[in-house]
Amino acid sequence: MGLVKPTNTTFAKIKVIGIGGGGGNAINSMVESKQIKGVEFISVNTDAQALLTSQADTKLQIGSNFTRGLGAGADPEVGRTAAEESREKIKDLLFDTDMVFITAGMGGGTGTGASPVIAEIAKEAGALTVSVVTKPFGFEGIRRMQTAEEGIEILTDSVDTLIVIPNQRLMEVVDKKMTFLDAFRLADNVLGQGVKGISDLITVPGLINVDFADVRAIMTDSGTALMGIGEASGENRAASAARMATSSPLLEVSVDGARGILYTITGGPDMTMTEVSDASSIIAAAADPDANIIFGASIDEEMTNKIKISVIATGFDDKLSYSQRQVFGAYGRDSSRRLAQSKKNQAYSTDEDGRIDRAPDGYIQPQTKDQVTGVTSKPIEDATNPFIQSAAFTDSPKEDSEEDQEEPEKPLELATDDFDDEFEIPSFLRQRK
């Protein structure tokens, strides 16, 4: 029997759809980078003018009768209605597709409203549907953040896997002098890295290959997922890359406890078996003991003295995904939300050990250093220590006069966490000079 030469029809058909302004910008960034191979790029928008500048292979204007090509006006309901109007066109676009990536900047009208509808159509067509979306920067306003969070909650029910990248975290790990334009470009780049990290697993052959069936097994109906990328060089490069991939400060969900992990290690011809073993041990140790782990490895001649690791972690139930929103004891929270509860109307209580017994909705008790390391140490008074609870979560009584006690105190605010000393910035986030 002769060898079988594969044709293009035997490969997984992957489509990347950018929805709305943010999604369209991300598509343009991916096309310009020329780093994502073997996929079809599609731009979907209610704004006809924005589509004129799109570099996507296919462009689709939705809701032309309802919006007349003028956009959604930051109203998700308009975006949803526009997608429903163009449902048949979207169906035709996604016919006979194996995998669909949906990218969008949440918080606007088209991206927030249309994404769940398009994701639903993709799943009905039988495609593995993965959404990689961003949450707004803090300076974009509270209302936009609230709209984004509501949209993400709806989108979660419409996709197989959802990866959320909080743009505000970028402010905490990059150069403070970064320009306004570069900040948005960086957000597009990070979103593109999320798509590339997954699509490369399928489209780029490896020494130990990962195929589409492997990806489908890990990502089908998996809910919230973690996507991490780490790259390192020099001594201990494999271990460093593994730690970077599993504990990026940009991610809102830790890999700890994941019940499904798919990861690939890429290195040059000088990559050793020991390095592969070390990196694999770090990743496996963070996962659930019974996790389904799929591993791939490839050699890239241009990666001499470098190792790159891509990790996808899934299998978080709702309770676990929220409890894991802390990285090495850093306080897990949405960047735009602040605690503004006076002590008089205190919404939490502490037990005798100082642990929060009942915390405000939306906030997670950070781990102490003792809990992370498992070693009991003497109390530390240093308020700057990242393992020490924020003052907003302490219940130490204050000596006040009766007059002072009758007057309501000023609302408390959580200080912004400082990640600068706790994490190594991934290489693709380092600002170019």
Helix segments in 139-266, DSSP class H? 142-156, 170-173, 180-203, 212-219, 237-246
Residue among 352, 362, 420, 353 at smallest CA distance from 386: 420
Q: What is the pLDDT along the chain (433 residues), one digit of tens a residue?
A: 454 444 444 588 999 999 999 999 999 999 998 888 889 999 999 999 999 999 999 999 999 999 999 999 999 999 999 999 999 999 999 999 999 999 999 999 999 999 999 999 999 999 999 999 999 988 899 999 999 999 999 999 999 999 888 888 877 777 778 888 888 888 888 888 888 878 888 887 777 777 888 888 888 888 888 778 889 998 899 999 999 888 766 666 567 778 888 888 999 999 999 999 999 999 998 888 888 888 888 888 888 889 999 888 888 764 343 333 333 222 223 333 333 333 333 444 444 444 444 444 443 444 444 444 455 544 444 433 332 333 333 344 444 444 445 555 555 444 444 444 444 555 545 554 4
- The CA-CA-CA angle for residues 343, 346, 352, to 5°, reads 100
1 half-sphere exposure, CB direction, 13 A CA radius? 2
Q: 418: how many CB neighbours lie within 10 A of its CB?
A: 11
Architecture of 223-333+368-376+383-427 per CATH? 2-Layer Sandwich (3.30)
- How far is the CA of 84 from the CAs of 62, 121, 150, in angstroms? 9, 10, 19
CATH number for the segment(s) 12-204? 3.40.50.1440
- Spatial CA neighbour of 41 closest among 80, 93, 87: 93
Residue 415 CA to residue 400 CA, distance in Å, equals 24
The residues spanned by each domain of the chain are 12-204, 223-333+368-376+383-427
